[in-house]
Amino acid sequence: MPKDGGIGASTTRREDVRFLTGKGKYTADINAFGQVSAIFVRSTVANGVIKSIDTSAAESMPGVLAVFTGEDFADVGGNPAGWLINSRDGEPMKEPKRPVLAHGKVRHVGDAYAAVIAETEQQARDAAEEIIADIEELPAIVDMAAALAGDSYVHDEIETNQCFDWGWIEDNRAATDEAIKNAPHVTTLELINNRLVPNAMEPRASIGTYDAAGDSYLLQTTSQNPHLTRLLISAFVMGIPENKLTVIAPDVGGGFGSKIYHYGEEALVLAAAKKVGRPVKWVADRSESFLSDAHGRDHVTKIELACEKDGTFIAFRTETLANVGAYLSNFSTATPTFLHGTLMAGNYTVPNVYVNLKAVFTNTAPVDAYRGAGRPEATYSIERVIDMAARELGMDPIEIRRKNFIKPDQFPFASAAGLEYDSGNYDALMDKMEAMVDRKAFEERRKASEAKGMLRGLGINAYVEACGIAPSNLVGVLGSRVGLYDAATVRVNATGNLSVMVGAHSHGQGHETVFPQIVGDMLGIDPASVDIVHGDTSKIPFGMGTYGSRSLAVCGSAVVRATEKIIAKAKKIAAHMLEASADDLDFTDGQFAVKGTDKSVSFGEVALKAYIPHNYPLEDIEPGLEETAFYDPANFTYPSGAYACEVEVDPETGKVTVERFTACDDFGNVMNPMIVSGQVHGGVVQGIGQALLENTTYDENGQLLSASYMDYVMPRADDLPFIAVDHADGTPCTHNPLGAKGCGEGGAIGSPPTVVNAVIDALQSGGKNVTHIDMPLTPARVWAAMNNA
Amino acid sequence: MASVTMTVNGKSVSGNVEGRTLLSDFLRNDLQLTGTHIGCDTSQCGACVVHVDGEAVKSCTMFAVEADGTDVATIEGQANADGSLNVIQQAFQDHHGLQCGFCTPGMVMSAAALLKDNPTPTEGEIREYLEGNICRCTGYHNIVKAIMAASGQDVSAVAAE
């Protein structure tokens, strides 16, 4: 049983109180003294040459303080890609410059080419209307295959639209080809992983402030990782010394990947603040978010699964085109490669895996990591083609998966795609899922659906993913230009309460509640006496932020390590106080006690002694009680799951309704089950959204047709059932001190193929010869598939 | 500019606004009541829901001048007199009905309006009523559960956690 409020307890969240009473402080809620407003002028064409920009009328409008164009940033650096990918022939990827404001060319609808700074937002908006840009429109490059075949380029200077042509693992290519050529059965599936917009409910916003007295800057911004943002601005874009730039990410209203990256607007508000001598605030409206936030997914894939007649897998071979949009966003080259290709063996002992992936520039918004980031694409391809193979071979979809699962006694397991899975029990997850679904009862539910003229389908799925990124040494070898450790400082105050400064950033994950559960548990003190400080580079140690389900596995481990150092030092102080050897002390429930005696001191007494070091062995122990730890993991963590979805399909209209959804996950040791369930609910629903509702549509001219909530279909409460989840009894991660695996993305990774498998099952049960429909499975698509089949 | 006077969370307030000033902007910028959030520009997301004369209204769909003389309630006025969370707020915390918190004020205000008209709504009625409030974090599971709990219904049978 978890201790009261300690590790494993479903403690309610302390941060909720401010959010529930309207006291949250998001960037848009902050008003700096003397602040002025920035408005960006964005391209209305997808591809065009900027002939001239006339800003004179705008500059003379009321309240206008400054107007910026790309010319003003021609001499500063570009926003870089964080990961170098080499092509199969050894050539490094193409890295065209991504400027603060478009210069020379605009490359996607929404590409900002000017900005107006005015006293008020309305004045800036009015003045922006007066900027006259002569932009010669060029044909838009939208379709990826056409982009590769054509002779016009998104970036003229690189004379290709191919960023890279990557093979994983290139040495496995010949063997995989040979295995597929000789296989008794090969199932081939061509599919599209639909482009999505992350759509955190809080639009991006930034406030730049310049302090002439110290020649220093402050950036308050909607970021998942303030230190990385500072590093990018300092080292690459603007050259502001790191110690002259503070970045604060206050309350942030969701991220899902879209707020990992540095965006040009952040550099602009800093430059503008210096120029006008006032704080400069920009808040995106939702239309700007659709046009300029990094999008997600957007793969076109052909996958082949070779197997024996009995369903034993022999090989997976994948060819994928991945859209990176008009510019390389910070993680955009890692997402389709090392977060995707390395997962292409799934949960299976399959001996041969080969992935070829070409990344393609197009005149569309940049594409980068969105919840799951590469692993949803891998899981979707694998789990769809397995379902199709099972149907072709006349096998049960659960049976074929179980036949190929890595078995519990095979861990640690070196997958054919190059990862070493540390722990898992995929059969146990499947057992649990089958018990929750009860397939006999499903047959009854199917009959009941059919009795009212509906088709009912059951889709199942298994997933494994790699998260908690990542070992710096490993990612360095693979091309990462950053380290991926995290950091925590535990400060015990003299009166015994604690401030814990962490490099992870909470924008919904509940760190302010969970990290104190861990520290409180370790120190045997009330978690309420522990406060978490995050999001401010002037207060926290250099951490890499929150994404890739890394907060607990990486930063949480740093919290553990720092707390262990606190305990070690406190023990020495206690030993002095008790006139005993440190080796003779036990530390339980917040008390240091001499073994076999009734002599003890409390943790609080030790803390006070550390800060009032009278009668204190200063020659051996420093005063104070504050420790920092940087934690760099030895491996990714490998959460896994078995999911089931039941749908009803209306054969008259093609409308799909999700009737039941079951998610059984293995997240290793769970710190707060309530919060983990919430992560699964949210991830699953984003996956249901991808499968049934959401799609980002550019027309042939590169116009974004789905640029508002009137057009982009977000999942709403009435699209969904309750989600049944279970994440008890996981197999602990073997290499971090908490035994925890990341839980933030599994839901979004496991759910899309589950839903699509269910719809295909429903259609097949109704005698429709439909084997695949591309997401989202809208009524129109499902109806067309049924009626053309 | 026009002068407006209204009651907000029980206090009389007034200000000078442009004709185009939205009620949401008046609340956020003039009154510094930043709990009312702006999540979209097409009146779809519901993060800005407040009550005007007791009715749930998306405050981005109403001009401040239209609210002249009305009684407005926002998230900042929902807690009990002693500062403790009201029944709906407490249910959201108890059942983890929020994550990033951005949609939360609108969700709480919509839930309050629903429960005023329908004190014990079914799951289906709650889901239908919340159609105008978008949440990206929770998958709505715990929001629906929290509202059922706030209305006094037993939610122990609702799947998991």
* Residue B76 with chain A: CB contacts under 8 Å: 21-23
Give residue A4's pLDDT: 73
Of A261, A211, A257, which is closest to residue A231 (Cα–Cα)?
Answer: A261
Residues B57 and B94 in one domain: no
pLDDT digits (tens, 9 = 90+) for B20-37: 999 999 999 999 999 999
Of A416, A510, A518, A465, which is closest to residue A666 (Cα–Cα)?
Answer: A465
CB of A343 less than 8 A from some CB of B: no
**Rounded (10°) CA dihedral A323, A328, A331, A336:** 20
End-to-end alpha carbon distance in chain B: 52
Minimum CA–CA partner of B144 in chain A: A717
If DSSP states are collapsed to H, E and C, what string results for A246-283? EEECCECCCCCCCCCCCCHHHHHHHHHHHHHCCCEEEE
Q: Where does a domain end: B76, B95, B113?
A: B76
- Judge if the upstream peptide bond of residue A169 is cis by omega within 30 degrees of 0: yes
CB of A121 less than 8 A from some CB of B: no
- The DSSP code for A556 is I
**Rounded (10°) CA dihedral A254, A255, A258, A260:** 140
Continuous segment of H or E residues that includes residue A527: none
From residue A737, alpha-carbon distances to A4, A555, A627 in Å are: 21, 11, 17
* Residue A29 with chain B: CB contacts under 8 Å: 28, 34
Minimum CA–CA partner of B143 in chain A: A717
Name the token pair of A574: 């206690």
CB of A8 less than 8 A from some CB of B: no
pLDDT digits (tens, 9 = 90+) for A29-46: 999 999 999 999 999 999
Shortest distance, CA A725 to any CA of chain B (angstroms): 6
Q: Which member of B32, B76, B144 has the closest CB to residue A717?
A: B144
Q: Which residue in this structure is represented by tokens 């970036």?
A: A155
CB of A775 less than 8 A from some CB of B: no
Minimum CA–CA partner of A23 in chain B: B35
Query: In degrees rounded to 5, what are phi and psi of residue A217?
Result: -125, 150
Minimum CA–CA partner of A661 in chain B: B159
Instruction: Evaluate if pTM is beyond 0.95.
Output: yes
pLDDT digits (tens, 9 = 90+) for A426-447: 999 999 999 999 999 999 999 9
Give residue B161's pLDDT: 46
Cross-strand bridge partners of residue A246: A218
Q: Where does a domain end: B29, B50, B76?
A: B76
From residue A594, alpha-carbon distances to A294, A364, A487, A566, A572 in Å are: 58, 67, 33, 19, 12
End-to-end alpha carbon distance in chain A: 55
Residues B96 and B123 in one domain: yes
Minimum CA–CA partner of A725 in chain B: B160
* Residue A677 with chain B: CB contacts under 8 Å: 96, 160-161
Pick from A201, A286, A729 the residue to mutate for testing the B interface (most B CBs within 10 Å). Answer: A201
Give residue A48's pLDDT: 98
Name the token pair of A140: 């838009």
- The reply to whether residue B40 touches residue A286, judged by beta carbons under 8 angstroms, is yes
Give residue A1's pLDDT: 47
How would residue A3 be classed by pLDDT, with cut points 50, 70 and 90? low
Residues A421 and A392 in one domain: yes
Distance CA A227, CA A331 (A): 15
Residues B54 and B112 in one domain: no
Distance CA B97, CA A681 (A): 11
pLDDT at A383 over 70: yes
Question: Is A313 in a helix, a strand, or coil?
Answer: strand
pLDDT digits (tens, 9 = 90+) for A208-231: 999 999 999 999 999 999 999 999
**Rounded (10°) CA dihedral A573, A576, A582, A584:** -130
Residues A226 and A347 in one domain: no
Q: Where does a domain end: A597, A631, A665?
A: A631
pLDDT digits (tens, 9 = 90+) for A330-370: 999 999 999 999 999 999 999 999 999 999 999 999 999 99
Classify residue A188: in a domain, yes or no. no
Query: How many Å separate Cα A688 from the centre of its chain?
Result: 17
Question: Is A566 in a helix, a strand, or coil?
Answer: helix
Q: What is the mean pLDDT of residues A504-513?
A: 97
**Structural domain tally of chain B?**
2
Residues A513 and A672 sit within 8 Å (Cβ to Cβ): yes
Residues A305 and A433 in one domain: yes
Distance CA A780, CA A761 (A): 18
Classify residue B157: in a domain, yes or no. no
* Residue B34 with chain A: CB contacts under 8 Å: 22, 25-26, 28-29
Residues B94 and B61 in one domain: no
Q: Which residue in this structure is represented by tokens 């036949």?
A: A403
Query: In degrees rounded to 5, what are phi and psi of residue B114?
Result: -60, -50
Name the token pair of A279: 């704080």
Residues A117 and A276 sit within 8 Å (Cβ to Cβ): yes
Classify residue A189: in a domain, yes or no. no
Q: What angle do CA B141, B147, B153 make, to 5 degrees?
A: 105
Residues 718-737 of chain A with CB under 8 A from chain B are 718, 720, 722-726
Question: How much is the ipTM here?
Answer: 0.98
Residues B25 and B72 in one domain: yes
Q: Where does a domain end: A631, A654, A683?
A: A631
Residues in chain A, overall count? 789
- The reply to whether residue A708 touches residue B36, judged by beta carbons under 8 angstroms, is no
Classify residue A187: in a domain, yes or no. no
Classify residue B159: in a domain, yes or no. no
CB of A682 less than 8 A from some CB of B: yes
Instruction: Classify strands A112-118 and A36-42 as parallel, antiparallel or unpaired.
Output: antiparallel
Pick from A20, A33, A709, A751 the residue to mutate for testing the B interface (most B CBs within 10 Å). Answer: A20
Distance CA A773, CA A757 (A): 10
Classify residue A184: in a domain, yes or no. no
Residues A754 and A642 in one domain: yes
Residues B60 and B123 in one domain: no
**Rounded (10°) CA dihedral A150, A154, A158, A162:** -60
Instruction: Classify strands A48-54 and A132-137 as parallel, antiparallel or unpaired.
Output: antiparallel
How would residue B157 be classed by pLDDT, with cut points 50, 70 and 90? confident
Residues B66 and B109 in one domain: no
CATH of the domain at B12: 3.10.20.30
Q: Where does a domain end: A631, A651, A679?
A: A631
Residues A432 and A644 sit within 8 Å (Cβ to Cβ): no
Name the token pair of B143: 């929001």
- The DSSP code for A179 is H
Query: How many Å separate Cα B145 from the centre of its chain?
Result: 17
**Rounded (10°) CA dihedral B36, B41, B43, B46:** -40
E strands within A570-639? 585-588, 591-594, 600-602, 626-631
Residues A508 and A645 in one domain: no
Name the token pair of B81: 């007199």
Residues A273 and A217 sit within 8 Å (Cβ to Cβ): yes
Distance CA A256, CA A761 (A): 31
Q: Which member of B47, B131, B140 has the closest CB to residue A201?
A: B47
Of A357, A322, A361, which is closest to residue A342 (Cα–Cα)?
Answer: A357
Give residue B159's pLDDT: 63
Residues A79 and A52 in one domain: yes
Structural domain range at position B136 = 87-150
Continuous segment of H or E residues that includes residue A378: helix A375-393
Residues A127 and A297 sit within 8 Å (Cβ to Cβ): no
**Structural domain tally of chain A?**
3
Residue A539 falls in which region: left (phi positive, over 0), alpha (psi -120 to 50) or beta: alpha
pLDDT at A667 over 50: yes
CB of A122 less than 8 A from some CB of B: yes
pLDDT digits (tens, 9 = 90+) for A462-477: 999 999 988 999 899 8
Structural domain range at position A73 = 31-138+201-254+259-292
CATH of the domain at B107: 1.10.150.120
Q: What is the mean pLDDT of residues A555-570?
A: 98
Residues A306 and A275 in one domain: no
Residues A275 and A406 in one domain: no
- The reply to whether residue B35 touches residue A251, judged by beta carbons under 8 angstroms, is no
Cross-strand bridge partners of residue A592: A587, A601
Complete edge-to-edge strand list for the sheet that includes strand B2-8: B11-17, B2-8, B71-73, B49-52, B55-58
E strands within A670-758? 723-726
- The reply to whether residue B142 touches residue A681, judged by beta carbons under 8 angstroms, is yes
Shortest distance, CA B51 to any CA of chain A (angstroms): 14
- The average confidence (pLDDT) of chain A is 97
Classify residue B94: in a domain, yes or no. yes
Name the token pair of B41: 């520009």
Residues in chain B, overall count? 161
Classify residue B158: in a domain, yes or no. no
* Residue B130 with chain A: CB contacts under 8 Å: 716-718
Minimum CA–CA partner of B44 in chain A: A709
- The reply to whether residue B131 touches residue A682, judged by beta carbons under 8 angstroms, is no
Residues A691 and A380 sit within 8 Å (Cβ to Cβ): no
Shortest distance, CA A222 to any CA of chain B (angstroms): 12
- The reply to whether residue A253 touches residue B37, judged by beta carbons under 8 angstroms, is yes
Residues 387-426 of chain A with CB under 8 A from chain B are none
